Structure 1
Amino acid sequence: MSEAVKQAQPNEAVPVQSPPKKKARIAWVDIAKAIGILAVVAGHAYPHKDALYEVTYWWHMPLFFFIGGFFLKPLPHTVQATKQFFKRKVWPLYRDYLVAGAVIITINFFTEHRTVAYSLDYFRRLLYGGTVLNGYTSAFWFVTVYLLAQIGVVALISYVKPQWLQWLTVIGLFALGTSYDNAQQLFGFPLPGNADVTLMAMFYMYAGYRLFPLLKRVVASPLWLGASLLGAGAFAWAQYADKIDQVVYMKSHNITDGLFAATVPILFVLVVIGLSYKLSQTNLSYQLQWLGKQSMIIMFSHKAVFYLLEKMSITNWAVLTVFGIVIPVLSVVLYRLSRRMVQSSLRLTT
């Protein structure tokens, strides 16, 4: 039977291609994000700049940049591929940044009795990004740095082929980024979006990109976790005992030592990842995974929650931390419930 006749058979079953299956999320990755966002919120609420505060700042922001490198891929050298990257990876997060910023600036307008001129200038600062953002939106610097680092690393792995040259590039950028105090002192003004901090963030993100395949193989190893804990514990003790005095404040670009900032934060990140894998084997896994998926809304809104609570004379850092997590999470739950109710009512009326 000819091919044409075969295609004309009316009763012949035509194979239907099933839609591609969604890749299952890796539990320990989301749990690591949950641990990270808990540390960020607690760090912002904690009132003492002691060893605990400084050690927490060593790793909680590098953790998010490190994880951000896990699922990056080189792009084909086509205009279409570049457009798709910006459409799917860059624009959605930047859109959320603008929307969340607009909401918080509006809340600030009413709660702080701001003038229209002040709020319009607040929008200008939101567009500029970085260190010019403070108060309700002081944590927003992370998003612009994350996006710039993502663009930089994807460009690097797409257009620079030798792996040794990729490593040399990010190490060189990190060394450059930690060789001066801050952009304000160097240029006389802060760079848009904390662009100079991207030089550091790219290193952490690229390290995550390269180490992720190895981590998937060794994450369950007690020996690996034990060694990481021992090393991180030694550095934490040294800071507490005043044997060393190191700070890694990425937003303000306050870095005591570049070599320390390139190595010790990653050591702590490895500890968090190892502990996250252990937690993924417990009954808390589902709840922690869900919390990790809400890390961005918590990042956007927790400082606004703090300011509103402080206006009610609630200043205890532990209470601020709890509400800084719970209120954003409740807002997500209520939004999703209301959305489902609207969708259900629409289905009933059609």
Structure 2
Amino acid sequence: MAAIKGRGASSADVSERFNLPQRAADGDWLDEAEAIDGPRRPPATTVTEEHPRSILSFNRSPDIPFDRSINAYRGCEHGCIYCYARPSHAFHDLSPGLDFETRLFAKPAAAQLLRDTLAKPGYRPAPIAMGTNTDPYQPIEARYRITRAVLELCLEVSHPVTITTKSDRVLRDLDLLEQLAARNLVMVGISVTSLDPVLSRKLEPRAASPDKRIAALGRLVAAGVPSHVSIAPIIPAITDADLECILARSADVRVRAATWIMVRLPHEVAPLFRAWLETHFPDRAGKVMATIQSIREGRDNDPRFFHRMKPTGVWADLIRRRFTVAARRHGIGSPAARLDCTAFRPPARDGQLDLF
């Protein structure tokens, strides 16, 4: 299947998990259409505003270090082919492929919805994770500024927040991040998958370049914002060779904490990733998938609690050892910041000031 310039996925096939009607283009008509109109144009990005009743999602997963999160957007224009959030589009009768990266949804009332939640008498603060499903600093944040509005509210009420992103656009909110950091209310992780810009454009076609991400980490650290590099995901025989170099480059800009995550291929991500491999790396597609299956107990993905984030086997042990040795060499440890949950003060309710 031919690659589409600027996009990660090559098709808009709809998921079969929910018995949705499949999209099929008539081959004869396509030939005639291209003869008349010329080659098909790349799919454009569209944004639909949606107005949910709530914005804070809670979870009880034993595999992740947070119990609540905010996703200001659905879908992500970065188009990372391996993104584990792609299947979420299938719940809305949309393709986890091209639709996920071209048909986006924004939630402009996110900050107000969060304010309403934080004002409830029974609310108890804990760090809010942003960027756990789709990137809070994807390109449309420049227009909507939803992430910034949420950070402004967190600063106002002294609520802790964590951010994960693949974009140097996070620096546009450096003024807020500095103030949050001064109160021990924020931690930022920037994901760096590869240092090769050509490979990065194939994997993450509309994300910031690796150099920009490393530079952003340096700016954050220099500004006193607790930050770490996340080598995520590591893809065997595709990106794993860069592990030590990413840690070295991060240490050069004074990053002192790092994490890593092995690639996960839940639901529709697996066939999308296989198609991507056949397009860009047909010579090693079989090896890559065989290695992934070896660390997921013979499957493309292991969804079980206590297993999905913990790859096993020889390859996983090798990556784990390489990371440990390289991190120690560069004086890099694990993110250890404990954000302050004691300073939180609920916002005013119904326009009235709180007396207590």
More helix by share: 1
TM-score by structure 2 length?
Answer: 0.25
TM-score by structure 1 length?
Answer: 0.25
